[in-house]
Amino acid sequence: MKRTIFLLGFICFSIINSSAQTFNRQDSLLGSITPERSWWDLKHYKLEVTVDPNTKSLQGSNTIRYRVLKSHDVMQIDLQAPMEIDSIIYRKKSLSFTSEGNAHFIRFTKKQPKDSDEQLTIYFSGKPRVARRPPWDGGFTWQKDTNGKFFIANANQGIGASIWWPNKDHPYDEPDQGVRLSITTPKDLVGVGNGRLVGTDENDNSKTWHWNVSNPINNYGVNINIGDYVHFGETYSGLKGDLDMDYWVLRENEAKARKQFQQTVGMMEAFEHWFGPYPFYEDSFKLVEVPYLGMEHQSSVTYGNNYGNGYLGNDLSGTGWGLKFDFIIIHEAGHEWFANNITNQDVADMWLHEGFTAYSENLYLDYHYGKNAAADYVIGTRRMIQNDRPIIGTYNVRHEGSSDMYYKGANILHTLRQLLEDDERWRAILRGLNKDFYHQTVSSAMVEQYISKASGIDLTEFWEQYLRTTMIPLVEYKVDGNQLSFRYEDIIKGFDMPVIALVNEEEEWIFPTSEWKSKTFSEKIQSVEIKRDFFVNSEKLE
Ligand SMILES: [Zn+2]
């Protein structure tokens, strides 16, 4: 059973790619900030989509507003086949474009002037890729509920938002003023998007649902969900005032949802405590039921965990603590702080999303069940760690690091908390990250430097070792009477993280390096153990 759960976790969390990786021109076009992307700064998307469930097709338009940073006349827009661009309209005239795979290059008739605010509209249509294994192998999911009504959603983390709508599909640039999202559905269904419902239109044979996001949003967070939804909600009195919490679930599941979603307030309380105010009060918080496990769509977290605790009923940590909460409510909502508020500039640094959010699971437990429960859980999740590849991937080619970004990420943050030896200070750092990088895209290097500075600990080798190699530091030690000798193996040059050793069950800080060092104790040493909270291996040499 343990093995099954382990495999389940592995399969579910392994995102893409084997270790031997070669990159092609398409990877560079999609994964780098090309000259055709860098000259314009996104301001706003107005995305209108009509969804036809019978033909599994979409038709729509995206009006992109942007500021010209540098005068240029070619713009890169991404849209993945089989979706197609039908036309591009700029100042009432049609623009031509050339395509290189999924990257499309729009040609303006003359260079756009620096500092001007511009907009163009792209009309598109097609049958978007059907998701094979959502949310990991993404696309659209077309299902029916038990009453025979259509139940439709998209999930496209990794593969990219351009799987269904044309946009600047790179995480470094977000629309500063948000997104207006209009979803047209058959009359008997409800379309739910991100942000707030600001209006509906009754058409002859359809209905249009207008949603508004007023904050910057990452592309992969933009989502549409269609079903026979019912709505209920509550108001949470939080750190920035009243927060609207809304729930959209299938009619058949309303009773279950009303019970299971009672956890949401406790989630919000725990995360506001650890990370500071929910980052999108203006846009509200939502849980939306979908026909796949779930995803961190900003201000509309999607949910498909069968209204039960754990991860589809399993405890990823194997300690029992993972059954105290609904994994999808806690984990995906944790991403509102790490992924949606603080977003990676390049997916190579996606551990900023998944490492901090996997770590948030234990902070939720810490808040409600105490420090030991939290430690049990995060240490328990070490069984998911593969050590196959480094946590950080390859930059500029849309390449994510190892799935170890989740629980190795969580465990190095748990180790850092020990190094600080000051939980209030640690909490201030986590809140500081969310305040100082509020609504920004950042690199891992920026976060590494921030934590080094805020903690007063030079973490250069710490980050290098844990994020950029697969080596787990090994503490070797020998006991001779009253004397304990120790050193590190499996480390990079200069790695010298102190750890707590339990010597005769008493806590003692020791400071191993690559060289043997000794420490003499007043009594004969009967037992030695490295405190479990530090993510290191240890071995006694005879
Ligand atoms: Zn996640």
Q: Give distance in angstroms: CA of 16 to centre of ligand 1.
A: 14
Q: Give distance in angstroms: CA of 507 to centre of ligand 1.
A: 35
Q: Give distance in angstroms: CA of 194 to centre of ligand 1.
A: 18
Return the pLDDT at 12: 40
CA dist 82 and 112 (Å) reads 30
Return the pLDDT at 16: 42
The per-residue b/e assignment along 431-456, b for 16 or more CB within 10 angstroms, e otherwise, is bbbbeebebebbbbebbbebbeebbe
Q: Give distance in angstroms: CA of 519 to centre of ligand 1.
A: 43
Q: Give distance in angstroms: CA of 99 to centre of ligand 1.
A: 33
CA dist 298 and 213 (Å) reads 9
CA dist 51 and 127 (Å) reads 10
Q: In residues, how long is the chain?
A: 542
Q: Give distance in angstroms: CA of 328 to centre of ligand 1.
A: 9
The per-residue b/e assignment along 253-272, b for 16 or more CB within 10 angstroms, e otherwise, is bbeebeebbebbeebbbbbb
- pLDDT tens-digit series, residues 295-342: 999 999 999 999 999 999 999 999 999 999 999 999 999 999 999 999
Q: Give distance in angstroms: CA of 49 to centre of ligand 1.
A: 27
Residue 95 corresponds to which amino acid? L
Average model confidence (pLDDT) across the chain:
95
Return the pLDDT at 137: 83
- pLDDT tens-digit series, residues 236-254: 999 999 999 999 999 999 9
Return the pLDDT at 134: 87
Identify which of 346, 314, 287, 298 has the alpha carbon closest to the alpha carbon of residue 12. Answer: 314
CA dist 326 and 309 (Å) reads 4
Q: Give distance in angstroms: CA of 214 to centre of ligand 1.
A: 23
pTM: 0.95
The pLDDT of residue 173 is above 60: yes
Q: Give distance in angstroms: CA of 305 to centre of ligand 1.
A: 14
- pLDDT tens-digit series, residues 472-515: 999 999 999 999 999 999 999 999 999 999 999 999 999 999 99
Q: Give distance in angstroms: CA of 333 to centre of ligand 1.
A: 9
Grade residue 10 by pLDDT with cuts at 50, 70 and 90.
Answer: very low
Return the pLDDT at 42: 98
Q: Give distance in angstroms: CA of 465 to centre of ligand 1.
A: 23
**Measured torsion, CA atoms of residues 342, 348, 351, 352, in degrees rounded to the nearest 10:** -20
Q: Give distance in angstroms: CA of 230 to centre of ligand 1.
A: 26
The pLDDT of residue 270 is above 50: yes
Q: Give distance in angstroms: CA of 296 to centre of ligand 1.
A: 7
- pLDDT tens-digit series, residues 88-146: 999 999 999 999 999 999 999 999 999 999 999 999 999 999 999 888 888 999 999 99
Return the pLDDT at 197: 98
Strand (E) or helix (H) holding 227: strand 225-227
DSSP letters, 475-502, are EEEEEETTEEEEEEES--TT----EEEE
Q: Give distance in angstroms: CA of 204 to centre of ligand 1.
A: 40
431: DSSP letter: H
Q: Give distance in angstroms: CA of 406 to centre of ligand 1.
A: 8
Q: Give distance in angstroms: CA of 168 to centre of ligand 1.
A: 22
Q: Give distance in angstroms: CA of 119 to centre of ligand 1.
A: 33
Q: Give distance in angstroms: CA of 336 to centre of ligand 1.
A: 10
Q: Give distance in angstroms: CA of 154 to centre of ligand 1.
A: 16
Q: Give distance in angstroms: CA of 157 to centre of ligand 1.
A: 10
Return the pLDDT at 421: 97
CA 273 to each of CA 266, 269, 364: distance values in angstroms, whole numbers, following the listed order:
11, 6, 10
Q: Give distance in angstroms: CA of 82 to centre of ligand 1.
A: 28
Q: Give distance in angstroms: CA of 331 to centre of ligand 1.
A: 6
Q: Give distance in angstroms: CA of 274 to centre of ligand 1.
A: 18
* Residue 2 or 71, more confident: 71
The two structure tokens encoding residue 258: 């009303």
Q: Give distance in angstroms: CA of 335 to centre of ligand 1.
A: 7
Return the pLDDT at 136: 85
Q: Give distance in angstroms: CA of 353 to centre of ligand 1.
A: 7
Return the pLDDT at 11: 35
Q: Give distance in angstroms: CA of 502 to centre of ligand 1.
A: 34
The pLDDT of residue 2 is above 70: no
Q: Give distance in angstroms: CA of 298 to centre of ligand 1.
A: 12
